[in-house]
Amino acid sequence: MTSTEHVEIEGTPMVATLVPGSEIGLLALHGSNEGGTAELADLVARRCGATSLVFTQPGVRRPVHIPSARMAADHCALLREFLERVFVTVSLHGHMRPDAPHTIFLGGGNRAAARVLAEALAAGVPRFPAVTDLAAIPPALRGVHPRNPVNLSRLGGVQVELPLTARTSGSTDVPPGPVADALTAGVKELMSRAAP
């Protein structure tokens, strides 16, 4: 059952939407800033039966970008519920690095899970190289801050930084099918490895 919460973080009104599912969680902290991330989180979670939590700023022409480490607001009930429910988080973000227009960076604290997703991406969308070596990921995209929500679930998680063409189609926020398929395969593999 979908739950929504109106929450203010650092003076910015947001809507958090939680769809409960399995103990793998798809997270989009910047659904209104980073096109396609909210849509991809929702799509992959539905395909896998995973839990999803998406933050948006509906009706705002210029959404405010709050750094991930400052999005862990203790007063956000749905974020608390998400973190209590899931043990691995896959947090979807967008980057616009001109020196890496096709690269997907896989940061976050759970390096084993990052490698699982990298294998799925390499198999499904080889035109988007997946980088897991933290030293090769730009510091701002590494997702290793201890207060970043991706690292607050029981086993931490993976911060997936997607270039524009890996999360949007043309001028729309519709994620490309092959990327959605590859991420779905990776999340399903995480789920199978976590099964008793």
Q: What is the pLDDT of residue 171?
A: 87
CATH of 3-194 among 3.30.43.10, 3.40.630.100, 3.20.20.140, 2.40.10.10:
3.40.630.100
Q: What is the pLDDT of residue 195?
A: 64
Name the strands in the sheet holding 104-107, side by side, starting at the edge strand that comes first in the sequence.
3-9, 12-19, 51-56, 24-28, 88-95, 157-163, 104-107, 130-131
pTM here is: 0.96
Q: What is the pLDDT of residue 170?
A: 86
Q: Which ranges of the chain have pLDDT less than 70?
A: 195-196
Show me where the domains of the chain are located.
3-194
